[in-house]
Structure 1
């Protein structure tokens, strides 16, 4: 255990020592917030207004809070996973710089080494995404604040769960990579495509029926929905108090993927958490198998 903590501290120091990598990972959520505000804010706003009954007036504070919450939920759904691919650089860098040869002839067990990579990725990614969450909460506060303390605690828990999920996933994907070029290529592909696969850029109802069924098997779909449910809980309550018909609120929730379906059944928040936990545990088992057996043969 002591060896793993020493190695984890070593990986963390290397990450923070590379100022370019650290600041690029840290600024990624900031750039996403700006891009979301610039290109998606109006689209989300108009989409939300289209669900309102004719001649029905809803306060701008509730509308802006709903749109802002949707934006930040989408941002975190993407950054919690994609940032881990940027942060998980040490494992590949050690191969690229031939540092792994020193580890291979040392008495350090392979599974301990790979666990240290994993925990370092989790800790570094958590730091960046907690900062992203704080920036998102500040943005929501400027638009319309309805979140309660318990909602914020749930959101922190969501970020931790998604970061762990993303860290294990990135560990498996980056496991066979041996050069920085390979890692950069994978990071670029993940950053470009993950937002669509998790439904952050476009809600699932915009996709075809068959594609929706396929995406219902992806844990990332429920990660996005989990964040949106916790961000939008209070705005939905305020809509109900303002007199918005229950059916309209339900349609808005469905359009924002707050009520995803799996095999024809609506998945509630508790089931989303359970599905993500199970997916993370399964990925951890695969990662440990790779670190114990595949790494020895390689």
Structure 2
């Protein structure tokens, strides 16, 4: 346990000491913020305003909804993209041949692999919980206070998404060995994941074929979970003034409700998909390291 503790501490400190790597981890959230500030925020504001324009909904409520949508998208993307960046320590050690130095000491391959995984999980949680606190502060300025239960749900959603991102990045980075591969994978994930999870634009705006494909990706449901919990109190507020069929349209338009193969995907099913996916990915990572250990 002492070896594991020191290795986790080493990986974590190395990540935060490298300012370039830290800024790289924040590129996707920064891009998303810029997109919302320049035009996406206005588009979503106008979209919701057009749906509820015949009802007595204040502009402050609409602004709060759009801000909550922004932050849910930002957090959902960060949980995965930051995981890939923080897990680059594992690839960097292989590229610099530091793994051999670490394994010369009485450290097992299993302990080393576990240390990379735990460190990635801790780093990503630190960054995303900090982002969540900033989110609550900004939302608080609009006099929108989340119930304590929803705050706990948001924390659990972030943990699940981070566990998903850590497991996925651990599997992919397991096969990487050079600096060029690190940069390529990081760029692809940063550019593509936001579209695949519905963060850059609502899934309802894609073509039917693309929508169907995205609905089979687990990250989609992690994004929907945190979006539901950040916006639930606002949905309740809107529901007192807006008819049920209009509320259903809002849920469909903003990716908080899904139908897959004609069936409505409940939040319980979303949790089942996310937890099951994390368990499968974690099992694959353990199996890869077990096979390498026995080779």
TM-score over 0.5 for the pair: yes
1:52 match: 52
Q: Describe how 1:180-199 pairs up with structure 2 within 5 A.
A: 180-199=179-198
Of 270, 273, 276, 1:272 maps to 270
C-alpha displacement at 1:260, in angstroms? Answer: 1.3
DSSP-derived class of the 1:201 partner: coil
Q: Give me the whole-angstrom Cα distance separating, in 1, the residues matched to 2:70 and 2:293.
A: 40
TM-score (norm 2): 0.94
8 A contact 2:28–2:190 mirrored in 1: no
8 A contact 1:30–1:132 mirrored in 2: no
C-alpha displacement at 1:154, in angstroms? Answer: 1.0
Q: Give me the whole-angstrom Cα distance separating, in 2, the residues matched to 1:143 and 1:96.
A: 48
Q: Describe how 1:44-83 pairs up with structure 2 within 5 A.
A: 44-52=44-52, 54=54, 56-83=55-82
Q: What runs of 5+ residues in structure 1 fail to find an aligned partner?
A: none
Count how many residue pairs are aligned between Structure 1 and Structure 2: 295
Say if 1:30 and 1:131 are closer, same or farther in 2 by CA, change over 3 A: farther
Say if 1:82 and 1:207 are closer, same or farther in 2 by CA, change over 3 A: same
Deviation digits for residues 49-108 of structure 1, max 9, x if unmatched? Answer: 121253x33111211111111111111111111011111121011111111122344442
Of 251, 254, 259, 1:253 maps to 251
DSSP-derived class of the 2:52 partner: coil
8 A contact 1:8–1:116 mirrored in 2: yes
Q: Give me the whole-angstrom Cα distance separating, in 1, the residues matched to 2:294 and 2:189.
A: 28
2:90 match: 91
Q: Which stretches of structure 1, 4 residues or more, deviate above 6 A after TM superposition?
A: none
8 A contact 2:25–2:81 mirrored in 1: no
1:124 match: 123
